[in-house]
Each structure stands twice: as C-alpha cells, then as structure tokens.
C-alpha cells in the first residue's frame, strides 16, 4: 500500500511579466526567449508573500480533497525557502490553515515535489491511515539577479499542492542526487561575524552553467523515465501523460527525440509560467485534474530535475 492523490491545488501571484516587459530593462528580446526556452510570461510575487501563494494552493487542494486542515497528519513543503529561514514555511502554512500536524520544509530544488511524494510514501508504509499535504512552492523572483539576462528570463513564482491518502496509485518512484555546485547554485547570505568580514561575499543570487544543466536535464529525463516505467512493469508508450519539470521547451523536445516518443505525450506549460522550480509539476497536475483529464486508471509519469543536482521521477495510476 502506498498513497493516492485525493486533491490538488494551485496558487499563482497576480502580476504577470511578459518577455516584452523584461526587454524594457534587460538586453533581451521576446524572440530570443521564446526560441531558446518556449517561455512567454511568468507570474511574480509583488504584493503577495511566498506564504500567500502557498496558502492559496493548500486551501484549493484541501477543498478539492474535501477534507479539513485539522484532518492532516503531516505537511511536507518542498521549497528553496519561504519568507523566513525559521519558522519553516511548512510551519507557517500549518498555523494559517489551522492544522495541528508535524510540518517541515524539504529542499531538493526543482525536484522537490517528487522528493516530497517519496517521503510521503515512506510515511504511508508506516501507517496507511494518514492524510498528507505536499505543498511545493518557490518564489524564484527573489533568488535571481534581475540584471543577469542569462538567468532572469527563465524563472517565475508559483505554488502547487497535492493531498494524499492511503491507496495504491504510486506504481514506482526513483530519486537521484549528484552533488554539483558548479552547475547550479544559490549562495547563502553569510552573516556579519567580525572574524569573517573580509572574506569574499558572493551575492545571494542564482548562478548557473546553462549548457551543463541542459545536457544533464535531457539525460536525466530519459534515464529516469526508462527506470520508473520499467520498475512499474509498463512501457513508456503505456503512459497517458508525462508531466516533466517545466524548465525549457527545448529540453523536453530533446528528451522526446532521444526517447523516440511523440512530443505531445509531454504536457508543456512553460510558456505561461516559466520555471517555477518545485511548483512546476504540481501546477500542471492541478490543471489537468481540474479539467477532468484524469480518469480511474489514467497513467501519469512525473519527471523532475534541478539544483543539487537532483532528479526524481514516478509513475502514478489515477484512482
């Protein structure tokens, strides 16, 4: 026994920034961004806090699951960080929802939602009679240098949530990690202890070797999808929807070509949100769920990659 997804939710900040908006203050163009990434616009937290969008997604997911926050046994919040280092974002969500369960953040960057599902699965193996909220949220707009055109155009803010209950939907799941600071990193603010004040202090913004991450991502999607479908005892062709981490259209095109599967098996929503890190997969999951695209028996593969470097993939059969 593992889990089944009984509700999903999404939270996006109101402010939308188009590529044309970015070209007002960055040396870039709509044409460059669309051709290299498929991204046309992204949502940015201007008036909202990170907690606000996390709460919106959580409340939506609880309503969709038709359960009350007080029924939750655990809140897992995959995120690079909330509005405060402590309390954790998960604890603030718990407080605002009026839940009373243990709550913690989990940092696996853009693979966070799948990492969260794997942790939840372990809890269900201990006690199948639980309800777990996995609320993945990131505000990348607060972590990138808005003067760096190579990274600023790629990301956006958002939150996506799933409520899990005991069940048999999870057919296979796999996580990987290969520690690599060069490919992608966000330095931590260093504090101001007088003995350390002369050491170099990098700005706390995202640093990335784009081409290296690109090559890693295409290989990760191919390897992970092959591994989880094999573990689930199915062929890739048997999967109805592949929901990849929404980072870049070209990465998905590259993976589809290498796997020799039609591109339309991959659900792509990178155009409207950019890369929302841990939130990108559950945002798409929620859209398809609310559109009624999942029936009992629908097979969904999730495949994520990101900072760490981490990857995670799984096969879920909708109940």
Ligand X SMILES: CC(C)(COP(=O)(O)OP(=O)(O)OC[C@H]1O[C@@H](n2cnc3c(N)ncnc32)[C@H](O)[C@@H]1OP(=O)(O)O)[C@@H](O)C(=O)NCCC(=O)NCCS
41: contact with ligand X by CB under 6 A: no
Cβ–Cβ < 8 Å for 110, 305: yes
4 versus 276: smaller Cβ distance to ligand X: 276
149: contact with ligand X by CB under 6 A: yes
Among 60, 248, 275, 289, the active-site one is 275
Tokens of 143: 């972590």
207: contact with ligand X by CB under 6 A: no
32: contact with ligand X by CB under 6 A: yes
Choose which of 1, 150, 177, 237 interacts with ligand X (CB under 6 A): 150
Binding segment (CB under 6 A) for ligand X, from list 49-57, 161-169, 203-211, 228-236: 203-211
Nearest-CB residue for ligand X: 210
Among 60, 64, 91, 245, the active-site one is 245
Cα–Cα dist 249/253, whole Å: 6
Binding segment (CB under 6 A) for ligand X, from list 27-35, 87-95, 162-170, 311-319: 27-35
210: contact with ligand X by CB under 6 A: yes
169: contact with ligand X by CB under 6 A: no
Cα–Cα dist 197/30, whole Å: 41
Residue 129: phi and psi, rounded to 5, are -95, 65
SS3 content of the chain, % helix, strand, coil (to 5): 40, 25, 35
Cα–Cα dist 90/93, whole Å: 5
- Output the CA–CA distances (angstroms, integers) from residue 11 to 161, 231, 278, in the order listed: 9, 33, 13
> Which residue, among 302, 313, 301, has the nearest Cα to 223 in the 3D structure?
313
Helix, strand or coil for residue 277?
A: helix
Cα–Cα dist 307/319, whole Å: 32
Torsion of CA 58, 64, 69, 75, to 10 degrees: -50
Choose which of 2, 4, 8, 37 interacts with ligand X (CB under 6 A): 37
Cβ–Cβ < 8 Å for 161, 155: no
36 versus 142: smaller Cβ distance to ligand X: 36
25 versus 100: smaller Cβ distance to ligand X: 25
Site for ligand X in 6-25 (CB under 6 A): none
**Is 64 designated active site?**
no
**Is 275 designated active site?**
yes
110: contact with ligand X by CB under 6 A: yes
Among 110, 222, 273, 314, the active-site one is 110
Helical ranges in the chain per DSSP H:
19-23, 30-37, 50-65, 89-97, 112-126, 149-152, 210-232, 249-259, 270-273, 280-290
213: contact with ligand X by CB under 6 A: yes
53: contact with ligand X by CB under 6 A: no
Site for ligand X in 258-297 (CB under 6 A): 275
Binding segment (CB under 6 A) for ligand X, from list 1-9, 86-94, 147-155, 221-229: 147-155
255: contact with ligand X by CB under 6 A: no
> Which residues of this protein are in contact with ligand X, per CB under 6 A?
28, 32-33, 36-37, 110, 149-150, 153-154, 208, 210-211, 213-214, 247-248, 275, 306
* Catalytically active residues, by annotation: 110, 245, 275
């Amino acid at each position: 026994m593992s889990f089944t997804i009984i509700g999903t939710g999404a939270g996006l900040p109101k402010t939308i920034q188009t590529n044309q908006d970015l070209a007002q203050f960055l040396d870039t163009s709509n044409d460059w961004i669309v051709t290299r990434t498929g991204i046309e616009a992204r949502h940015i937290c201007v008036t909202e806090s990170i907690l606000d969008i996390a709460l919106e997604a959580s409340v939506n997911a609880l309503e969709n699951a038709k359960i009350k926050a007080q029924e939750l046994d655990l809140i897992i919040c995959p995120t690079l960080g909330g509005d405060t280092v402590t309390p954790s974002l998960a604890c603030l969500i718990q407080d605002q929802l009026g839940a009373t369960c243990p709550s913690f953040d989990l940092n696996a960057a853009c693979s966070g939602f799948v990492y969260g599902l794997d942790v939840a699965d372990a809890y269900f193996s201990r006690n199948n009679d639980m309800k777990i909220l996995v609320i993945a949220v990131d505000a990348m707009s607060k972590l990138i240098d808005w003067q760096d055109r190579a990274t600023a155009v790629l990301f956006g803010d958002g939150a996506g949530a799933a409520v899990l209950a005991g069940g048999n939907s999870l057919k296979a799941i796999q996580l990987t990690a290969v520690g690599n600071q060069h490919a992608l990193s966000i330095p931590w603010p260093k504090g101001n202890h007088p003995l350390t004040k002369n050491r170099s202090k990098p700005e706390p913004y995202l640093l990335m070797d784009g081409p290296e991450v690109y090559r890693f991502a295409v290989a990760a999607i191919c390897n992970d999808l092959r591994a989880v479908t094999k573990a689930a005892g199915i062929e890739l062709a048997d999967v109805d929807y592949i929901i990849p981490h929404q980072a870049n259209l070209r990465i998905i095109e590259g993976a589809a070509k290498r796997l020799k599967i039609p591109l339309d098996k991959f659900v792509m929503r990178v155009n409207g949100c950019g890369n929302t890190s841990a939130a990108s997969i559950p945002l798409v999951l929620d859209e398809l769920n609310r559109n009624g695209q999942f029936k009992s028996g629908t097979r969904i593969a999730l495949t994520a990659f990101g900072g760490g470097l981490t990857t995670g993939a799984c096969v879920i059969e909708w109940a």
